[in-house]
Amino acid sequence: MNYLQIQNESTVRLKKRPVKDFLLKVLENQGKDKWEVSVLFTGDAFIQKLNREYRGKDEPTDVLSFAQVDNKEAFPEKGGRFYAGDIVISMDTLARNADYFGISMNEELKRLLVHGILHLSGMDHENNNPDQPMLVEQENILKLFTGVVLL
């Protein structure tokens, strides 16, 4: 069983149960068990502060992931509880991204949640080219959850 903590400090009304159910299904799909993940929904001001402090980029971003291990080899053996890390999502940037790409906020929210989980799983990407293996995996996962509504 996976454990999730979800906190919404953004101005967007968000129902935690659909987000939690979606994340639990994604974790199960990825073969994760006994993972602990926290998700914080915030605005641009706070995520910009985090982005500046941890990545040296003084600008808001859509999603940040703070994994508790640096690589897949450091993950504990199966069976033990594992604190995977934190995902922080700016709902302000999410809304702008959705508008820019011509997709719903719901679709962008699912994309950012999956993106965060993949980073916590030890995956990374060099740029935002859609042919990056992590981004290909992200889109493959999203295809499995096409009809899921979070917002």
DSSP labels for 97-140?
Answer: HHHHHT--HHHHHHHHHHHHHHHHTT---SSS-TTSHHHHHHHH
Residue 28: pLDDT above 90? Answer: yes
Q: Which residue has the tokens 């890390």?
A: 85
Percent of the chain with pLDDT over 90: 81
Nearest-angstrom CA–CA distance, 79 and 103: 39
**Closest among 35, 24, 56 to 148, alpha carbons compared:** 24
Locate tokens 């993972």: which residue?
35
- Res 26: pLDDT: 97
Average pLDDT of the chain to the nearest whole number: 92
Tokens linked to 4:
């999730």
Confidence (pLDDT) at 119: 95
Confidence at residue 79, expressed as pLDDT on a 0 to 100 scale: 64
Q: Are 86 and 38 in contact (CB under 8 A)?
A: yes
| Structural domain includes residue 151 | no
**Number of other CB atoms surrounding residue 118 within 10 Å:** 21
pLDDT in tens, 63-113: 999 998 765 555 556 667 789 999 999 999 999 999 999 999 999 999 999
pTM score of the predicted model: 0.93
Write down the pLDDT at residue 90.
98
The answer on pLDDT for 44 being more than 90 is yes
Cβ(117)–Cβ(107) under 8 Å? Answer: no
In a domain? residue 150: no
Which is it for strands 35-42 and 3-8: parallel, antiparallel or unpaired? parallel
In a domain, 50, yes or no: yes
In a domain, 112, yes or no: yes
Q: What is the CATH number of the domain that holds 23?
A: 3.40.390.30
H-run or E-run covering 40: strand 35-42
Overall domain count for the chain: 1
Domain that holds residue 28: 3-144
The per-residue pLDDT for 36 is 95
